Amino acid sequence: MKIFNTRLSTLSDTQKAQLVEQYQADDYLLLDFDTRQHSRFRAITVSGEAVGVDLPRTGVLKGNDVLINAAGELMQVIAKPQAVTKVTADDDFLLMKGAYHLGNRHVPLMFDHSFDQGNAGYALYFENDHVLAQMLENLGLHIESTSVPFEPETGAYQTGQGHAHGHSHSHAHSDSHSYKESHSHDESHSHGHSHSHHDAPVGRSNDG
């Protein structure tokens, strides 16, 4: 089994071209946020190949991150669309108030304005929690369930580090030497490459 243990920060033109070929062959990892929080896990590529990831604890894997192994082989990580709660508001102040209350509870939050939004022009996204959703509705915010690649904000004093407070499973990698399973291909390929502009691999042109 191939083990990818280094995250690349820059790519050569040859590597970018290689990633495009791999993407077309479904040779990449489609991972949700919970899996991407781990530094050590076992996963299945979209094409069905088992691989291992064994990284230093340098933060959450982001969509479009590229990994390399000792043999120089590449593996791109795509953020998998997942069920989340979308929060919109009638004005910026109300949305800011909602963000404050969620942040006060250390909830991983994604701020976005590239999906459909409310009147405020922006939206918040967090992993589904009916108690938090009810709290926000009581504040006057609009709540709906949706599915998007979840890329929450990292800490302001961190570089690529991610907090996952309230998700004790995110610390399961600690000093374990066993791999966490991630069967990203179990979606029966229903992703249909719906990762659109969020998931285009590095070096891949928008016109295919």
Cα separation, 52 vs 149, whole angstroms: 22
Which residue ranges of the chain lie beneath pLDDT 70? Answer: 113-120, 155-208
User: What pLDDT is recorded for position 121?
Assistant: 74
Burial environment of residue 149 by CB neighbours within 10 A (0 to 12, 13 to 18, 19 or more): buried
User: What pLDDT is recorded for position 203?
Assistant: 44
User: What pLDDT is recorded for position 169?
Assistant: 35
User: What pLDDT is recorded for position 118?
Assistant: 54
Helices 130-138 and 92-103: angle between axes, nearest 10 degrees = 140
User: What pLDDT is recorded for position 179?
Assistant: 46
- Which 8-state DSSP code applies to residue 54? E
Burial environment of residue 37 by CB neighbours within 10 A (0 to 12, 13 to 18, 19 or more): buried
User: What pLDDT is recorded for position 120?
Assistant: 58
User: What pLDDT is recorded for position 58?
Assistant: 73
User: What pLDDT is recorded for position 4?
Assistant: 97
User: What pLDDT is recorded for position 168?
Assistant: 33
Taking only the tens place, the pLDDT of each residue in 55-108 is 998 778 999 999 999 999 999 999 999 999 999 998 889 999 999 999 999 999
User: What pLDDT is recorded for position 51?
Assistant: 97
Q: 70 CB contacts (<8 Å, ≥6 apart)?
A: 3, 5
User: What pLDDT is recorded for position 117?
Assistant: 56
User: What pLDDT is recorded for position 98?
Assistant: 96
pTM of the prediction? 0.69
User: What pLDDT is recorded for position 55?
Assistant: 94
- Which 8-state DSSP code applies to residue 117? -
